[in-house]
Structure 1
Amino acid sequence: MISSPSSVRPPDPPLADPPLNDPPSSSAPASGWQIALLWAGVPLCAFGLFHYRLWEQWHSGRFGELLLLSLLAWGLSWPLRRFAGWSWASALALPWCLALALFAGVVPVAATLVLAATAIALGGILAGRESLALQAVCGLALLGGVLGWLLPLPVHYRWSYLCLSIVLVVLRRESLLAALQALRQGWRDAAATAPRGAAFAVLALGLASTGCWLPTLQVDDLGYHLRLPWELMEQGRYAMDPETHIWALAPWLGDVLQSFPQAIAGEEARGPVNALWILLTASGVWQLSKALGGDTRASWAAVALYASLPLTAVLAGSMQTETPTAALLVWLAVLIARAPLTQSRGLYSGAALVGGLLGLKLAAAAAAILLLPWAIWRHWRSLRPLRTLLAIALALAVGASSYVYAAILAGNPFLPLFNAYFRSPYFQLSDFDDTRWHAGFDALLPWKLTFDTGRYLEAFAGGGGFVLIALLGGWILAMTQRRTALAAVMMAVSIAIPLIPMQYLRYAFPASVMLLPLLAVMAFRVHPRRASWLLGGVCLLNVAFQANGHWMLRTGALKEAIVAHGDDDASFRHYAPERILLAELRAAPPSAGNVLALDPDIAFSAEMGMRARTVSNYDPSLAAAAIAANQDSTGAAWQSLLEKEDISEVLLRAKTLTAAQRAGLSRANATLRAEEGDAQWWSVPAKGDAR
């Protein structure tokens, strides 16, 4: 039942939670040893910087770009501050919002706003008394869960999504308007309480959002994540074919939510969707700081820390699940850290978030499960057996669709993981692993992640940020206080567990974001007069090394996007010319066959949906067949393979084309259709075709 506004308390603003009954952060003065421990990370960081000679890997050009963008944002904001009387935080937010629309596209931004309104309307049914941001994250989880079950059905069209949005928004319009009004007032109050901290945090968020300006270019996106959104946009349903892609049945909630605005807009909306996730995460970080007893300064500092992490900007330019995982995990921590539940709504909101994490990735669900001891300790008096069973059922309903379909279609609910046990025919009978990321797990791992980052991520030294070392003393201090000890332990465990089987830094990012509010709160609790200097310095150091988070940030991708005024082809020519060729292919008279990416290292064909084929590790059976075909120098094996796979279009790189592949294309009478840089598009005529 949808409650009327008169029966519902106005939502809490996303940046101003009701005060807790716990003592404030400045309740008692800190001793000298506590202050010394808090600042102990600074000399450690300085030693690491000099020992590893990080200045040699520092990219001054990227830092200069960020500095210039900051100055431009301040310059554009000044008239609003001077003549309109806006706060600096509000004035600074406007240029970044306009820049997102300019570089990511007005239509994708508008479609993402439709997604946000739909999520708030849907989430408000479950969490109507909560903040607007919590309603949004719950609604996104619920929406992704429902659409996940419906993927095989031909119901995923622009008109069906718009009808769903209109119905939900109309039914919930009064509550939605009340929540927006509360948001506006909450924002004003939060910005007025700590204006400098608010302006600094908004500026940091704006710099992080520059990753949203880039078109979709990262390898996993072009070879995997784009497949589901493009298939839904063009076919209205998802084929679920593990034969042609080993990740076809992997948890898909993140890609499903990317599909919603893409289907409405008729074009990709990855940047705006990631901007939405970043805002929701920032709001959750704020609320978690307040729930842990922090004041407004600590909350803004925690937001700035999150925004300054290099991986925040890096992930904003990708479709990886860690961006939405951070949002859902932080908000789950908010629900746990609050005063014990008195109503079932909080329990069901938490269940929706756990289900959303399950639907994003198995590791994300594991991070949620690791928080259970903290949740039980905080709320065990309010738990009831029936409510708990209903909450578990809700979580499974939201997040289990991919696992159920994978079990039915492939015989392995976690395909391609754990296949040594499930023995699915669609993957080798061994557990999936990536041997690149086995540098070892030991007590020095936080140090190595910070200063020897390239061993743990496709990045450069410092590309993971400096929080784990610079603010190590804050975490130790949290361990010494009864109120925060269990939270500190659980958060640290959530960071460590994903790194035990595979030491890959990206997997620890969401839990690291969850830890930031605790570190900020401890800093202001121990040294309130100078904590802003410590936390601000860490933020500046993180931003200075933002380019080290990913190779693309070091090669001028942002500069190209700005100069091209949002023309994606400028970036595609440099990083993924296949995307230009695929656009030409779609514009040409349609062919019935499949599209093959012939280079095993450049599997950029996912946007062709069910027609996409690749000889990379995404399709082990076809990759093995390609290796065998390369042994036949006459090209007959390749000709046969092209016929067997019903290939009508081929993407290749001329420099990596083998002699056997060249002979096979010749025997198949393939013709060159278009060329972009080193990338080429060839067409293969069907048998009996005179073309």
Structure 2
Amino acid sequence: MWLKIPYSADEFLVELALVALAFAYALRRLLRCRLATGLAVSWIVALVCYAGIAPLISSLLIGSSAIGIGSLVVPHTSMRPAPFALLVGLSVITGLVGWTLPLPIHTHSAYLSILIGICVVRWHAIAATMQSWPASWVQAIDVAPGSAALAVMAIGMVSTCAWTPTIHFDDLAYHLGLPYQLQTLGYYRMDAGSQLWAVAPWAGDVIQGIAQLVAKTEARGAVDSMWLTLTLGMLWNLGETLQLSPSARWLMLALYASVPLTADTLTGMQTEGPTAAVAVALAWLIQRDLVPDRRSLMMAGLLGGLLLGLKASNVLIAGPLGLWLLWRWQAHIPWRTVPIAMAAAIVVAGSSYSYGYVLAGNPVLPLFNGYFHSQYYLPINFRDTTYETGLHVWFLWDLIFHTSHYFEGADGSLGFVPLALGGSLLIAITMPRVRPLALVASTAFVLPLTQIQYVRYVQPAMALLLPAMFCGIPSIDLRQHENRAVLTAVALLVLSNLAFVANGSWQLYGGVLKDLWAHGELKVLNSYAPTRRIAAIIREGYGASARTLLVDRRYPYAAELAGTAFVTSWYDNELVQMAWNADVRTDGVQWARVFDRTGANLIVVHQDDYTSALKTALSQARGVRVSTVGDFDLWALHWYQMGVESRASPETVAVTFDTSSAPPGATLVSADLNVRCKTGTTPIEIRWDVTQEDSVHKTRSENISCGLLGAAHSSFEEAVSAKVVGFTITATQSRLVAIPLQVDKATVSLRSDLTAERDLAWHWQRRLLGWVTP
């Protein structure tokens, strides 16, 4: 394993730790605070610098509002910590917002007003929940300053993963879709045709979307940091409930942060980070409340709903926790509250499953599609066989020392906790006070691995295992000299995990953090995610009618283009079949059909993927390479036809276009008009007339002025919902002048609007409007 240590990445992390330590010592002398407090301030300042002040303020605003809402359910007592109230509030927020996703009401001003309003109205409850936190922080550090400093240092080193820009595969292919659609469109399209996972449980992405809306920029790093903070806070409180000493609790936090998989939760938008926070909160509630009341059951329902709203497979964690709850509370369950608690869980978790069933025909698309037969996937049960290696006697050993067989990371990504503290877990099982938690955590660890041997899925279970394992260790307390050896052993375990922490994140392992520090975010994106730079070029340089086709099955990174981009990978069941044999015919006909079907006027191609068929299709579509970033080229296609000019009067000229070849359904109309005129004349009125097959007319007028060179230009972009059967441009001068108005060039592009055809939320809006307005 010495050969597996990522020495280069570790060297950089150590350098950052030394810088933080120097600042912490300076703050300690300046503010007369503990070293742990100085370290915390140093790492928080670094997070602000790299994750961004707007995203962090956005996350703090969401967190404060969540406390305000959660405190309505969570009674304000010293036994209900702020992280718990925050998680309960987040469950309510995600539940309510999830049901409104298809409605065009999600704007920056709306969310900013609502969140600020909640903070104002619930200010006293928020302050009362948070008022004891500073004193508790100081007291916890004073009791065990050394362990606290180690924990804060470990947490700070891992928090550097939140600095990096979003470059994970799943984020670029899927998770960024919901935040960018809310920011761009004001609603979520639920386009299961273009992205197979579009209606998968979305609670985690909802929080990311709200934060991005409020911050007006991506807020992934700040939101991931919030989830980690909540997990650590609930671990502290669970350890206190289990009567662990402060030293033990600090070392438990350090150990959780040092697990390499924890670092991975901060680099992307996957659900393991929030799942860990919710799972520990539920475990704390069950362990704490031996005699539950109605509020306890309601809180359990809300948190259970959030757990299932994050991911369908979280049932493998929720199930054991639910059985523990029934066993522990069986004699005291307030049965009259059970229907209300179940209804709360359904409200929080049910939006994605309901919309998935109603709009896509499968509540867990693409899972179990052999039963539901949704049109958006093959009629088979989806199963990822990449990590189906099977279980065997030495499986746990291989999971620790040969982790690369079960994860995209390197060996050692799981860390060494299961090996070092496995005996402590066995001891914990013999302890009546800890036995239920130990059994639940062990079950939550094993169950996901029976379905797929993918180590990332056990990360939430690690958060549950650690408190149980620590209960099986001899008491760790700095005041007891005889236990210093145990304390030292656990600290060495933390350092061992930190030595391999970069193996759990390909970003740390690949040196992304070092590149970010040395060259900035732009360099990182150009090197590791060039398609993100191309997406920025498309957003900034092309209009709303731009449609992009990514001709690459390996990098289907279309999420941030908010539904205006299409991929030829398995995420799109229709296009992948059309493009599957497109290179067989060298005449480019099949690629031209793909272009026509998507209405694409922009094509992104990896330089290794050019074929004779694709080159021919690009040439026939009058394609021009407009940009190159890294190994990717951006092409612009020039689909247009010329109009026929006619003059109705000396001051009026009209252009008519042949629409017989227009697409049969929803159409994108893009037109340009260049005219020659006399400078200094009165404004020229331009009138655009579109006639649809359903006899609907769309008209737009505008006034333009003749430029200094005697020319004027106007353009028109419109998305119509039916076939275009007529299109005319009319230009009129207010009076006759010496040089009559002349058309220099008039073109129109009529392209298929696959975006509108696949917009399930838009079709749902129309049905809803029909019900409301007969």
Q: Same fold (TM over 0.5)?
A: yes
| Distance verdict in 2 for CA 1:73–1:152, change over 3 Å | same
> Which residue does the alignment assign to 1:555?
510
Residue 7 of structure 1: aligned partner: none
Q: Is the CA contact (8 Å cut-off) linking 1:477 and 1:522 kept in structure 2?
A: yes
Structure 1 CA distance, aligned partners of 2:308 and 2:496? 34
Work out the CA distance in 1 between the residues paired with 2:299 and 2:571: 36
Partner of residue 585 from structure 2, selected from 614, 627, 632:
632
**Aligned counterpart, 1:451:** 401
State the match for 1:262 in structure 2: 212
1:63 aligns with 2:13: no
In structure 2, relative to structure 1, the CA distance for the partners of 1:647 and 1:179 (3 Å cut) is: same
Could you tell me which residue of structure 2 aligns to residue 46 of structure 1?
A: none
Check conservation: 1:354, 1:365, Cα contact below 8 A.
Answer: no
Q: Does 1:500 align with 2:450?
A: yes
Q: Distance in 2 between matches of 1:467 and 1:550?
A: 18
**What's the CA shift for 1:94?**
0.6
The correspondence of residues 341-352 of structure 1 with structure 2, limited to 5 A, is 341-352=291-302
Query: In the alignment, which of 34, 47, 50 is matched to residue 87 of structure 1?
Result: 34
Q: How does 1:103-114 map to 2 (within 5 A)?
A: 103-114=50-61
Cα-to-partner distance string for 1:313-355 (whole Å, 9 max, x where unaligned): 1120100011111111111111111141343222211211111
| 1:150 corresponding residue in structure 2 | 100
Structure 2: tracts of 5 or more residues without a match: 477-481, 642-746, 750-774
1:243 aligns with 2:193: yes
Give me the whole-angstrom Cα distance separating, in 1, the residues matched to 2:463 and 2:426.
Answer: 17
1:30 corresponds to which residue? none
Say yes or no: does 1:138 pair with 2:88. yes
CA contact (8 A) 1:298 1:517 kept: no
Contact 1:341/1:347, CA 8 A, preserved across alignment: no
Whether contact under 8 Å (1:249, 1:405) holds in the other structure is yes
Structure 2 match to 1:76: 23
Greater shift in the superposed pair: 438-447 or 527-536: 527-536
Question: 1-side partners of 2:110 and 2:197: how far apart?
Answer: 27
CA distance in 2, matches of 1:551, 1:611: 29
Deviation at 1:382, TM superposition (A): 2.1
1:546 aligns with 2:493: no
Equivalent position to 1:484, from 434, 451, 454: 434
Residues 141 and 353, structure 1, Cα contact 8 Å, conserved in 2? yes
Which moves more between the two structures, 210-219 or 101-110? 101-110
AA aligned opposite 2:38: A
Describe how 1:584-603 pairs up with structure 2 within 5 A.
584-603=537-556
Q: Residues 180-233 of structure 1, C-alpha deviation per residue, up to 9 Å, x if partnerless?
A: 211111111111111111111111111111110000001110011001100000
Corresponding residue for residue 534 of structure 1: 489
Partner SS, residue 680 of structure 1: strand
1:632-671 alignment runs, 5 A limit? 632-671=585-624
CA displacement 1:571-604 (0-9 Å, x = unmatched) = 1111011111111111114151421211110111
- Residues 123-160 of structure 1, C-alpha deviation per residue, up to 9 Å, x if partnerless? 11121422111111111121111111000001111111
**How far apart in 1 are the matches of 2:287 and 2:524?**
43
CA contact (8 A) 1:103 1:562 kept: no
**Alpha-carbon contact 1:636-1:667 (below 8 Å) kept:** no
SS across alignment from 1:672: strand
Structure number with higher helix proportion = 1
Q: Which of 100, 103, 120 is 2:47 aligned to?
A: 100
> Mind listing any 5+ residue stretches in structure 1 that lack a counterpart?
1-53
- CA RMSD after TM alignment: 1.5
Q: 1:289-334 CA deviation, whole Å, 9 max, x = no partner?
A: 1122211111111111110011111120100011111111111111
Amino acid at match of 1:542: N
Task: Pick one of 264, 270, 273 that aligns with 1:320.
Answer: 270
1:574 aligns with 2:527: yes
Q: Give the structure with higher Rg (CA).
A: 2
1:516 equivalent in alignment to 2:466: yes
Q: Contact conserved, 1:591 with 1:648, CA < 8 A, in 2?
A: no
In the alignment, the residues of structure 2 paired with residue 170 and residue 398 of structure 1 have an alpha-carbon distance, to the nearest angstrom, of 24
Counterpart among 202, 217, 226 of residue 152 in structure 2: 202
Of the candidates 542, 553, 563, which is equivalent to residue 610 of structure 1?
Answer: 563
Q: Which runs of 4+ in 1 moved over 6 A?
A: none
SS in 2 for 1:246: coil
Higher mean C-alpha deviation, range 647-656 or range 536-545: 647-656
* Deviation (angstroms), 1:690: 7.9
Question: Take 1:508 and 1:115, find their aligned partners in 2: how far apart are those partners?
Answer: 28
| Residue of structure 1 aligned with 2:387, choices 421, 437, 442 | 437
* CA distance, structure 2, for counterparts of residue 312 and residue 237 of structure 1: 32
* Kept in 2: contact 1:251–1:403 (CA 8 A): yes
**Cα pair 2:201 2:311 within 8 Å, conserved:** yes
Equivalent-residue separation in structure 2 for 1:380 and 1:85 (angstroms): 51
Residues in 1 aligned to 2:499 and 2:289: alpha-carbon distance in whole angstroms: 38
TM-score (norm 1): 0.90
Q: Distance in 1 between matches of 2:118 and 2:424?
A: 44
Task: Tell me how far 1:418 sits from its aligned partner.
Answer: 0.7
- Between the aligned partners of 1:634 and 1:296, the Cα distance in structure 2 is 72
CA distance in 1, matches of 2:451, 2:610: 36
- Structure 2 residue 307 is the aligned partner of structure 1 residue 357: yes
Aligned-partner Cα distance in 2 for 1:604–1:674: 17
Identity fraction in percent: 35
Number of residue pairs matched by the alignment = 636
- Match of 2:628, SS state, is strand
Partners in 2 of 1:315 and 1:373 — Cα distance? 27
1:682 aligns with 2:647: no
Residue 57 of structure 1: how far off its partner (Å): 1.9
Question: For the Cα contact (< 8 Å) 2:575–2:594, is it kept in 1?
Answer: no
Alpha-carbon separation, structure 1, partners of 2:38 and 2:325? 39
Aligned: 1:278 with 2:228: yes
AA aligned opposite 1:631: V
Q: CA deviation at 1:623?
A: 1.2
581-590 vs 263-272, which moves further? 581-590
Residue in structure 1 matched with residue 764 of structure 2 by the alignment: none
The amino acid that maps onto 2:552 is: D
Q: Distance in 2 between matches of 1:630 and 1:367?
A: 46
> Post-superposition shift, 1:610?
1.4
